[in-house]
Structure 1
């Protein structure tokens, strides 16, 4: 196919469609559950996986691309609904995914002239530079709404970027991670070493394991329709603005340990790494943004519900199975000297309520509780360290960097495990340039204070 110019610095080498390999046991029709309905109107989740791969374009096209396509077809055999389409309806029980062996996933191969090492760094970069590396999810038609699009972009003699765009209404982070790991493993191991091209346990499509006696699906849809008219939603959308940059704050295992020591010293309790790191970032952002005059601020995050249901769902369950948690704190307190401790304590308290009340306790209020208009500022988190996305290895080694592009549309932070440091975390943000400058300065200052106080106490 003749190369065409798509974006500045991006040259499209090939556009094709990959179909699932024959022999799928996935159902032709898969209804949505109330867990899926939570994300029915959400923007697709977009991630970029950067890999070091110093090879010329010709070598990649001849030796790597065929394996990528074949292994993708085999992975789609088990995850065939991702190649299908979503068919919405006015009634929650009628929302369904339809798929067949004839469905296909759009797959784009491109070449970039950008600086691979700079664009995949942790420092502040213009968000618009990364947008050409993720494919769009085409608008729905009479045949339904597409669910998945993929793009591989070559940076000659330096690396490759894999962009994935996936509908959140049909797959949470666990399902997306299971699909990517299956695809990568099949590509890495080679078909001769993988019986039938299958790697790991196949997805579970049993929808009977999720019951809805409270009609949560109907409640969520009604609340979501009201939320669409909330003007606060548009304020959170930073996508496409020329002044927005993204950067990644790296918090080491040792720094999290120090945060835990400070927390225990002031509260006489312990706190999870997740709450410590998120609380630290939440407080730093409050300091950088300015005091909100005593108004309540919120931090929203999701929790994995598969193991919290009765009976628990298998880890291979296909779809969404996430609950919503909300932590609240006074904005003035967050911006104060003990802001990180207060923020972490608020997140810890929200998790404790979840552990004591059960996975679905207060679920009827999940959607309305996170409406942006209810708080002076609302921060949310996307992703989780438990997903293990740095294990997605196509034979090129672990990703050099992973970016969650879709956080720009919700002003969320992205959370992932740290590649080089077990127990450490990477937290990505997209912010207006001036606010990002203040935020990174606050983070650096607070980490320096943490290190100084720990050294002066003799490391105890």
Structure 2
């Protein structure tokens, strides 16, 4: 289904970066054991393979090289030391990004649809991060990889994979904005003129004990000489589908929620759409999973950007991870009941409001974030997370051949998360990506359509 045409390494231009290191903060350390993030952008390109190889790949390589000059951590490695010493991102001369060019015989028009499609069809289109190597007394872990895949006379995809320690969605979108700008204009002059470059200074103030807490999280001891990154593999019985909430529909839902829950603390487009999907997923599980305890709990986790919420605030271009969890917990039987949507709205709205409006600072209780984000306690077996954010206009990722035909977050297959992004047609519309076992997806679609159509 996929044939590799070229495999090469892309470095920053010679003598532009040198030796640099970037210390991790606890915001980064918490993601040491997180699986890689896989994203796919599909573009229309109704031309021949020779035209693709001659016109597309050279531009992508050149622009990526210049981008890496300014975003050097993407071409760097994560250095993990023994004896719980804090890891760092390190760049040395010669460091580079693995860049693969491939050709696929898969049905391009099927892949870019919204209907349920087999998840494992997408796996050959995203690159693995690569092998972890033992160097002297430390581990060197790659952080970023790119794969460009051509579909004969139809289009191409750009798959990117990154270790979550590298950055969050905000930083990654800054990287993509620069890469696409250079690809379109041929140089970084526009960006340099505007002064819009990553901010690397670690000005973040927090208790040093948080570093120690997250360096001692369960599983860190597994980062030894035998450690390798868990890349996405197939086959799987899951399918993925995309659901669109228009601005008009969202406003109707918000108006109804405000009437039903007049004292609800937080009713936003993001919260009501997430609550809508959460309740539909809970209902779709009925009949597919055994429920022995009617008081069983479910958890929904979304991330808030803390750059402008911590004291003192950080620049919007601060490089790395700077997100904290908003966690909603409620009973499964309530979530899957007749008023499940309202239960979800109230629970999630309260969680978001309490997190972003803490009077004693958003970092309060940060020592418990590992359990909120990564670990699923035995008493809360069902967890849903959110990948992406509508604050990032993901369909603006235009390298010069037009906006993406379709965007997919492939890594949501791993843990049952959903993706939430601004839609292609109108950024006020929201696009939800979902990955479920095929039969459960059928149930979800029926439940979703029934509830969705009730708001007219």
Say if 2:123 and 2:232, in contact at 8 Å, map to a contact too: no
Matched, 1:102 2:103: no
| Residue in 2 that maps onto 1:346 | 347
1:278 to 274, 284, 303: 274
> Which of the pair is proportionally richer in helix?
1
| Residue in 1 that maps onto 2:225 | none
| Residue in 2 that maps onto 1:301 | 302
CA gap of 1:129–1:429, structure 2 versus 1, over 3 A, is: same
SS at match of 1:164: strand
Counterparts of residues 82-97 of structure 1 (less than 5 Å): 82-90=74-82, 94-97=86-89
Matched residues in 1 for 2:302 and 2:256: separation?
Answer: 23
CA gap of 1:238–1:327, structure 2 versus 1, over 3 A, is: farther
TM-score (norm 2): 0.90
| Residue in 1 that maps onto 2:332 | 331
What are the ranges of 5 or more consecutive residues in structure 1 without an aligned counterpart?
Answer: 1-8, 229-236, 452-460
| Residue in 2 that maps onto 1:124 | 116
Say if 1:182 and 1:200, in contact at 8 Å, map to a contact too: no
Matched residues in 2 for 1:393 and 1:401: separation?
Answer: 12
Of 216-225 and 261-270, the range deviating more from structure 2: 216-225
| Residue in 2 that maps onto 1:389 | 394
Matched residues in 1 for 2:155 and 2:386: separation?
Answer: 29
1:374 to 372, 379, 383: 379
CA gap of 1:131–1:176, structure 2 versus 1, over 3 A, is: same
1:258 to 236, 252, 268: 252
Say if 1:40 and 1:169, in contact at 8 Å, map to a contact too: yes
| Residue in 1 that maps onto 2:7 | 15
Say if 1:32 and 1:93, in contact at 8 Å, map to a contact too: no
1:32 to 19, 24, 33: 24
Matched residues in 2 for 1:45 and 1:266: separation?
Answer: 38
CA gap of 1:238–1:431, structure 2 versus 1, over 3 A, is: farther
SS at match of 1:385: coil
Counterparts of residues 243-254 of structure 1 (less than 5 Å): 243-254=237-248
1:450 is displaced (CA, Å) by: 1.9
Matched residues in 2 for 1:90 and 1:407: separation?
Answer: 31
1:214 is displaced (CA, Å) by: 4.8
Say if 1:186 and 1:197, in contact at 8 Å, map to a contact too: no
SS at match of 1:49: strand
Matched residues in 2 for 1:401 and 1:180: separation?
Answer: 16
Say if 1:133 and 1:153, in contact at 8 Å, map to a contact too: yes
CA gap of 1:238–1:137, structure 2 versus 1, over 3 A, is: closer
Matched, 1:202 2:225: no
| Residue in 1 that maps onto 2:311 | 310
| Residue in 1 that maps onto 2:368 | 365
Say if 1:81 and 1:98, in contact at 8 Å, map to a contact too: yes
Say if 1:182 and 1:199, in contact at 8 Å, map to a contact too: no
Say if 2:131 and 2:142, in contact at 8 Å, map to a contact too: yes
CA gap of 1:26–1:432, structure 2 versus 1, over 3 A, is: farther
Matched residues in 2 for 1:338 and 1:227: separation?
Answer: 44
TM-score (norm 1): 0.89
Q: How many residues of Structure 1 are paired with residues of Structure 2 in the alignment?
A: 433
1:356 is displaced (CA, Å) by: 2.8
SS at match of 1:142: strand
Matched, 1:74 2:66: yes
Matched, 1:222 2:216: yes
| Residue in 2 that maps onto 1:403 | 408
Say if 2:77 and 2:143, in contact at 8 Å, map to a contact too: yes
Say if 1:26 and 1:205, in contact at 8 Å, map to a contact too: no
Matched residues in 2 for 1:90 and 1:226: separation?
Answer: 10
| Residue in 1 that maps onto 2:170 | 174
What are the ranges of 5 or more consecutive residues in structure 2 without an aligned counterpart?
Answer: 223-230
Say if 1:32 and 1:92, in contact at 8 Å, map to a contact too: no
1:27 is displaced (CA, Å) by: 6.2
Say if 2:6 and 2:100, in contact at 8 Å, map to a contact too: yes
1:223 is displaced (CA, Å) by: 3.1
Matched residues in 2 for 1:199 and 1:129: separation?
Answer: 41
| Residue in 2 that maps onto 1:232 | none
Cα RMSD, aligned residues only? 2.2
Of 347-356 and 68-77, the range deviating more from structure 2: 347-356
Say if 2:86 and 2:215, in contact at 8 Å, map to a contact too: no
1:103 is displaced (CA, Å) by: 0.9
Matched, 1:421 2:421: no
Say if 1:74 and 1:198, in contact at 8 Å, map to a contact too: no
Say if 2:280 and 2:336, in contact at 8 Å, map to a contact too: yes
Say if 1:71 and 1:197, in contact at 8 Å, map to a contact too: no
1:258 is displaced (CA, Å) by: 1.4
1:369 is displaced (CA, Å) by: 3.5
